[in-house]
DNA sequence: TCTTAAAGGAGAATGGTTCTCTATAAAGAA
DNA sequence: TTCTTTATAGAGAACCATTCTCCTTTAAGA
């Protein structure tokens, strides 16, 4: 099953577990807990947020452990990292491939918009610059519906 | 003159100076030096790189001063900041408004590609998400022509 | 030249992330 | 099941780009 065709969080969990196993990485309780959280989360959690959730079940877990698990999943291309220089990085475990994001600068919510015809843009760039494009990052910053109302 | 229609670095220097003056900010030797560097630089320098250049003329300049000047110009919308969580931020003083960048992951070169039809993408996003889009960030990562040859 | 508030300089503080080192435990073997 | 090995977890120090603090200097109008 391709990564962009997971319909349930169970699919994603199974897929991430399979990737870990196929690379001979051990399935530890901490790793399983993080995978479950990532596979289920509708938002784009930070390491700190994952940490808080894991600690509900495993109170002795170290923050460093979460960082290590996140780094591992990123390395295995099972997790997309959205790095921000001025605040915590955020993670997308459901769609671990580059795709556009819409970010509310007020409540920090991050959403995945549907978007057509981005590939042609990418090809135009490659043709005009001579670059071999490996990946990309497209973020739109603004105010979500709710935060527009409050103002 | 609109910011996206400066043809020479002199134009940009004059424009940035005018903005500082119109907001009653003092023109200090350090600020002038930074403005000149930003208006002239073809690349996208980091604070450290600006610092090194300023120190040629003013060896006692503090790194904190460069940070302060950069923050001020950013606040005045005369400088575009490209933040990177894992390395130094980079700055674009020639085109201080959001535009796509192409970034070589090997030599760290940053270029401005010409790009048509990005606005419709932005409108599609706003329509589909209900966000009021304020600004955006579009980065393509890959290998530039030179780094493709070396491998 | 004088005055004064803004700006600069130096170094400490910050904070998300990474590193180091030791203790623990997952998973295959016997 | 128990044993063995080695990856992984835990705890806290270290890192480093950036920001902050506090004091000194200076730009610019009077």
- Reported as a single tens digit per residue, the pLDDT across B97-133 is 999 999 999 999 999 987 777 888 888 888 888 899 9
pLDDT tens column, A39-57: 999 999 999 999 999 999 9
Residues of A in contact with B126 (CB under 8 A): 142
**For B14-32, what is the mean pLDDT?**
98
Residues 68-107 of B with CB under 7 A from strand C: 68-69, 85-86
Average pLDDT over chain B reads 92
| B104 among annotated binding-site residues | yes
Q: CA-to-CA distance for B141 and A131, rounded, in angstroms?
A: 9
Residue A139 CA to residue A119 CA, distance in Å, equals 16
Work out the percent of chain B whose per-residue pLDDT is above 90.
Answer: 76
Instruction: Map out the domains of chain B with their CATH numbers.
Output: 3-92 (1.10.10.10), 101-150 (3.30.1490.190)
Of the CA atoms within 13 Å of residue A73, those in its CB half-sphere come to 32
B38-77 tens-digit pLDDT: 999 999 999 999 999 999 999 999 999 999 999 999 999 9
Asked if A100 reaches chain B (Cβ–Cβ under 8 Å), the answer is yes
Are the Cβ atoms of A144 and B131 closer than 8 angstroms? yes
């Amino acid at each position: 099953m391709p990564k962009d065709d997971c319909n349930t969080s169970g699919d994603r969990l199974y897929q991430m577990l399979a990737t870990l196993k196929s690379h001979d990485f051990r399935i530890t309780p901490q790793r399983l807990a993080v995978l479950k959280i990532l596979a289920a989360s509708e938002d784009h959690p930070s390491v700190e947020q994952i940490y808080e959730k894991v600690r509900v079940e495993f109170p002795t877990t170290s923050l460093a452990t979460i960082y290590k698990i996140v780094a591992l999943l990123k390395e295995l291309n099972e997790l997309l990292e959205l790095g921000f220089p001025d605040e915590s990085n955020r993670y997308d475990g459901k769609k671990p491939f580059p795709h556009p994001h819409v970010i509310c600068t007020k409540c920090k919510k991050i959403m995945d918009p549907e978007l057509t015809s981005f590939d042609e843009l990418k090809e135009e760039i490659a043709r005009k610059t001579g670059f071999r494009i490996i990946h990309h990052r497209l973020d739109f910053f603004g105010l979500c519906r709710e935060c527009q109302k409050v103002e």
